[in-house]
Amino acid sequence: MKISKSSYKRLLIVSYRLPFTIQQTDDGPELKQNSGGLVSAVLSMAEQMGQNQGDESTKIHWVGHGDASMQQDNAPALENETFIAHPVFMDEAVHKGFYEGFSNDLIWPLFHYFPSYASFNEADFQHYQQANKRFLDELTALIQPGDLIWIHDFQLMLLPEMVRQAVPDATIGYFFHIPFPTYEIVKLLPRSWRQLLIKGLLGSDVVGFHTNDYVQHFLGSVSEVLALPIIEQRVVLPDRSVIVKDFPISIDFNKFNTSGQDTTVANTRQHYQNLLRQNKIIFSVDRLDYTKGITYRLLGYERFLEQNPDWHDKVTFVITVVPSRDTIPQYQEIKREIEEAVGRINGLFGTIGWRPIVYSYNSLSFPELMALYTACDVALITPVRDGMNLVCKEFVASRYDNRGVLILSELAGAAQELPEALIINPTDKQEVADAIKQALLMPAAEQEERLIKMRNHLQNHNVFRWSSDFLTAFDNLKTTHSTLETD
Ligand code: G6P
């Protein structure tokens, strides 16, 4: 039997970050809705479920961490025509142990294969449990029959099972936005923690990952940790089964494709190209993170400059690092390392009239980002580990002109979908240097050929397809259950 999509009445989203921030304006604090990919995906899912924007009874409820600005007396109502936000407030110490500690100081480094950066702290795990329970309390007060609950990311791994215990009939989806590593890494977690985390995820009906590798790694851990039977991509529990499947996240292709052609963007692009004296532009943008391989990238560029003096003065590497998690020591350390490398390379090769690297530690506005995506000749995206990486997809979608070359790390999930990029290993300075040279010299026809293939792929595999495939996976639940009963 198939469940019709409209059998879900409302969508309840749970993620660490809410889709709103509160901004100070001359008229007082105002609610600002974020325009990230997840928000677009959620809106399109709600539409597929037959929900109409503006319909009070089917507004999308979003449970997420509430910051101090949301608790002030003059804070605006956390609601607009589409979303109702439900902030989860918690004790400062609990939040610190949960977010900075267990999430960002243990799970993040461990699951990105940086075990030596991981700190195993019992109090942090207790805070992680308490924080997930706080999310549960906020969520259970909302749940009604017919809701589809969609929980996101590594900060909330215990929540699906907590919801299952509280509301056994709930329909729960979970998407994991970072890599899921091999069991050898998961095994570093204390036995009871890994059991609780894997069981936590299995509270869901559907668990999604970006790639099939992550699916296989997760299923490997399920059988090692809990010894549960797995039939194809279903984990079989006594009373139900859990579908585990890959859903590669993506972007709103049309938004990037059309914004590239916008006149404000074109003017900013022209301005940047003039500032850089029409040099060839290499561009990268990342959140500050040791997983992004920024220092290796700089060393690869340095090797390129060493070996290719004829390119001096003709190329500029524009590198933007977006501030993130800078209260954590490893993030402060990586920032120092990046800035040292930038200073050294500029000092070594720069002249009065030419800076080989233009570095900024700042956020870019959307038009600035679009101007740089469309101005650059080469996008250099070289994480040492990345669940997916959307920057490379945004760059490809922006290039309506079929010009530009993507150099992409084989350690980003996106490399599996974009084989027409120049795929490199980010730790191999020589390979990066050679790829930069190849990219700068690549004939226009070859740039076009590679970009057309990648653009076609992304046009078909956009963020709306991602959420629609995720929603469709629930159709198989009933079928799966009845098959199991007759097995
Ligand atoms: C990654 C994670 C998200 C996280 C984001 C920003 O994309 O998968 O869950 O929200 O980084 O990190 P932050 O710590 O600022 O939330």
pLDDT tens track for 115-165: 999 999 999 999 999 999 999 999 999 999 999 999 999 999 999 999 999
Ligand 1 centroid distance, CA of 104 (Å): 9
For atom 10 of ligand 1, which residue has the closest CA?
17
Which atom in ligand 1 lies closest to the alpha carbon of residue 178? 8
What is the pLDDT at residue 50?
81
Whether 179 has a pLDDT exceeding 60, the answer reads yes
- The model's pLDDT over 218-261, given as tens digits with 9 standing for 90+, comes to 999 999 999 999 999 999 999 999 999 999 999 999 999 999 89
What SS3 state is found at 315? strand
Ligand 1 centroid distance, CA of 291 (Å): 12
Which atom in ligand 1 lies closest to the alpha carbon of residue 103? 14
What is the pLDDT at residue 57?
75
With the most atoms of ligand 1 within 8 angstroms of its CB, the residue from 16, 100, 108, 286 to mutate is 16
Whether 109 has a pLDDT exceeding 60, the answer reads yes
Which atom in ligand 1 lies closest to the alpha carbon of residue 152? 9
Residue-wise DSSP of 17-75: S-SEEEEEETTEEEEEE---HHHHHHHHHHHHTTPPTT-GGGPEEEEEE--GGGTSTTP
Ligand 1 centroid distance, CA of 309 (Å): 40
What is the pLDDT at residue 6?
52
Ligand 1 pocket, residues with Cβ under 6 angstroms: 16-17, 104, 153, 177-178, 324-325
Known catalytic residues are 177, 386
Which atom in ligand 1 lies closest to the alpha carbon of residue 104? 14
Residues in a beta bridge with 114: none
What is the pLDDT at residue 486?
45
Mean pLDDT value across residues 183-192: 98
What is the pLDDT at residue 3?
44
Amino acid letter for position 49:
M
Whether 1 has a pLDDT exceeding 80, the answer reads no
Q: Is 135:114 a contact under the CB 8 Å cutoff?
A: no
- The model's pLDDT over 422-444, given as tens digits with 9 standing for 90+, comes to 999 999 999 999 999 999 999 99
Residue-wise DSSP of 172-185: EEEE--S----HHH
What is the pLDDT at residue 53?
63
Q: How confident is the model at residue 90 (pLDDT cuts 50, 70, 90)?
A: very high
ipTM confidence score: 0.98
The rounded distance, in Å, linking the Cα atoms of 107 and 103 is 5
Whether 484 has a pLDDT exceeding 60, the answer reads no
Task: Tell me what percent of the residues of the chain surpass a pLDDT of 70.
Answer: 96
Whether 172 has a pLDDT exceeding 90, the answer reads yes
